[in-house]
Amino acid sequence: MVTSLLLVAGGWVGFRGWQARAHLLNAAGLARELSAQVLGGDHERAQRTLAALQEQSGAARSATADPGWSVGRRTPFAGDDLGAVRQIAVAVDDLARQAFPTLLRADLASLVPAGGRLDVDRLRTVSADLATVDDVVQRTRRDLATVHADGLVSQVRQAVSGLRGELDQLADLTAAVDQGARLLPPLLGADGKRTYLLVSQNPAELRATGGMFGAYALIEAEKGQVRMGKQGSSSSLGRFTPPLSLPKEVRALWTDLPGIYPADVNLTPHFPTAASLYREMFRRKTGTKVDGVLAVDPVVLSYLLKATGPVLVPGGVPLASDTAVRTLLNETYQRLDTREQDAFFAASAAAVFDTLFKKNVDSKVLLSVFARAVEERRILFWSARPEEQRTLGDSRMAGALPEQDTVPTVGVFLNDGSGAKLGYYLRPAATLTVGECRPDGRRELRLRVTLHSTAPKSGLSESVLGLARAGDPYTVRTLVSVFSPTGGTVVDVRLDGAETAVGSGTERRRQVATANVEVGPGASRTLQVTVLTGKKTGTGQAELWLTPTATPWTTQVETAPSCDQ
C-alpha cells in the first residue's frame, strides 16, 4: 500500500538518516503485506503484520524526531529534504496506529455479498469505525499535501510524489467505503423495500458519462437481499414529445435531444441530470417510480468476472473476464439482430449480477475491482432521495460535475456523432500540461487529445455501421467536448494544427467547446486546446476528467512549480 516509501539510492548523511531509511523500507514491505491480508480476510497474519509495521513506523518516526534531526531541518541545503522525510515518517506511523487497526477490526472481507445477501446490520455496526479510518486517511493526505516537493532532491521528491499518489488512491477507497457503510443499509432496504433501475452504458456508442443507455433491469432490494426483476431496452421506452424539461445550459448545448430520447439523456456529463431524466421517462412509460439509477458498463462486468469466474449466459454463450468486452461490444453486433442484442445484453448483466450475489466470491478480488471501477467512473449512482444524494456529494460514484474545483480540472467528454457502434475501435489519449502563471493570477493549461481508430476498412455488419452520419460508414465521428475548470475559459481549439469550428456554451460554471472529430480507419486526429483557470491559482497541479471508453485512455498530466516559488 505504501510502496512509494522506497527511499533507496541514498544520499542520506548521518546514522539517524540511515536508520530512518531502513525502517521506512521495512514499513513499505509490511504495509504491502498488510494490505493483501486485510483484503483477503487473513486476520491472524494481519494482526502480526500490523504489530511489526507499527514497530518499524514508530522507529522511523523516532529517528526523525531527535534534536539533531530538528537542527538539520533548519539548515539551508538539506533542511527541506529532512523535513519531508519527517513528514513521510509521521504519515506512515499515523496510518499504522490510527487507521489500519480500525480497518482491520472492521473486517472488510465480511462486507461483501454472501449467500445471496449483504449483511446490512453489520454494515451499520462498523459504520462509525470506517468513518474514523476515512478521517485519519484524509487528514494524513492533507498534511502531506503541505510539503513543497519542487525543491527537494530527486529521491525525496519521488518518495513524496509516490506516497501522495498512493494516499490519493487510499483516500478515494476509504471515502467510498465510508459512504457505502452509511448509504448501503437504507439503499439495500434495511428500512423498507427499495427499487432501482440498473442501466448498462454502451461505450460502442459513446455518451459523455460512458455510453448510450442500452439495456435496463429493475432491481429490488430488501433487508440486504437483492433480486433482479423486469428487463428491457431503452429503445422500448420510445420518444417523448413534448420533451422533458431540461436545464437551460444543457438545452443550449444539445437542443431538446436529452429530453426526447432515452439514448441521449447522458449527452451531458452530469450524471444526476441524466439519471433523473431516465427515471422520469421510465415512470411515464411504465408507471413505475424507482428510488434511484445505477449505471455500469461491460468493462465493469469484465472486472466483476475476475471475482466470480466465467459465467454462462442463457443461450450457451460464456462470458469471461478477458473476453467480455469484445463479446459484448463487438461480436454481439456482428452475429445478432437488434432485438436479439437487447435480450443478450440484459441476460448478460443478469447472469453476472445473479452470480455475484449468490456465489461466495473472493472478497479481495471483489473489493479491488470495485475500487478500480469507481476510480474509472464506470459505476455511477444517483438517488432520488435528496438526503442520500447529498451524502454522495461530489464523489466519483455520484458522477456529479462540481461547480467548484479544489484542483483545476479539465473535462474531456465524448459523444458519438456517427449513429454507429464504432466506439469500440477508438483508442483515446490525452495529455494535460500546466503552463505559465499569468499576471492576473490565472494559469494556462494546454490539452492535447488524440483519437486513433482501429476500425477495419470493410467487413463490419450493418448493426455496427449504423446510420453512418460521417458519410463513409467506417469513419468514426466523435463530438469532443472540452470543459474548462470552473469559472475558466476555453481560449483556443485546433484540429491537427489548424483552427477548427467549435460549438460553445457553459454548464455548471464551466465553459464548453465542442469540436467534431472524424477519424478514418487506421487514422489518428489530434485536438490541441488551450484553457485558462477561472481564478488566481498558485498550484502547479491539474486533473483530467474523461469519458470512460471501451479501451482505457492513455493519459499524462504534466505538472509545474507553484506560482508562489
Cβ–Cβ under 8 Å, residues 161 and 559: no
- How far is residue 408's CA from residue 410's CA, in Å, rounded to a whole number? 7
Bridge partners of 229?
A: none
pLDDT at 9: 28
pLDDT at 297: 93
b/e per residue 98-135 (b: at least 16 CB within 10 A): bbbbbbbebbbbebbbbeebbbbebbeebbebbbbbbe
Does the fold of domain 405-558 match that of domain 194-389? Answer: no
Higher pLDDT, 182 or 483: 483
- How far is residue 82's CA from residue 146's CA, in Å, rounded to a whole number? 15
- How far is residue 483's CA from residue 253's CA, in Å, rounded to a whole number? 12
Cell of 91: 504519515
- How far is residue 516's CA from residue 417's CA, in Å, rounded to a whole number? 8
HEC-encoded secondary structure of 348-409: HHHHHHHHHHHCCCCHHHHHHHHHHHHHCCCCEEEECCHHHHHHHCCCHHHCCCCCCCCCCE
- How far is residue 132's CA from residue 130's CA, in Å, rounded to a whole number? 5
- How far is residue 327's CA from residue 336's CA, in Å, rounded to a whole number? 11
Neighbours of 25 (CB within 10 A): 16
Alpha-carbon radius of gyration of the chain: 25
Q: How many percent of the chain have pLDDT more than 90?
A: 46
Stretch among 5-19, 45-59, 205-219, 233-247 having the lowest mean pLDDT: 5-19
Contact residues for 200 (Cβ-Cβ < 8 A; gap 6+):
213, 214, 215, 216, 295, 296, 297, 298, 345, 349
- How far is residue 312's CA from residue 217's CA, in Å, rounded to a whole number? 18
pLDDT at 488 over 70: yes
Please report, for the chain, the start and end positions of each structural domain, with discontinuous segments joined by +: 3-184, 194-389, 405-558
Q: What are phi and psi of 176, to 5 degrees?
A: -65, -40
Eight-class DSSP state of 114: B
pLDDT at 363 over 80: no
- How far is residue 310's CA from residue 265's CA, in Å, rounded to a whole number? 32
- How far is residue 33's CA from residue 39's CA, in Å, rounded to a whole number? 10
What CATH number was assigned to the domain covering residues 194-389? 3.40.630
Cβ–Cβ under 8 Å, residues 231 and 436: no
If 0-12 CB within 10 Å is exposed, 13-18 middle and 19+ buried, where does residue 280 land? middle
Stretch among 112-126, 369-383, 463-477, 503-517 having the lowest mean pLDDT: 112-126
The answer regarding whether domain 405-558 maps to CATH 2.60.40 reads yes
Tens-place pLDDT, residues 158-203: 777 777 777 777 787 777 778 778 878 888 888 899 999 999 999 9
Q: How many percent of the chain have pLDDT more than 70?
A: 89
Tens-place pLDDT, residues 505-519: 999 999 999 999 999
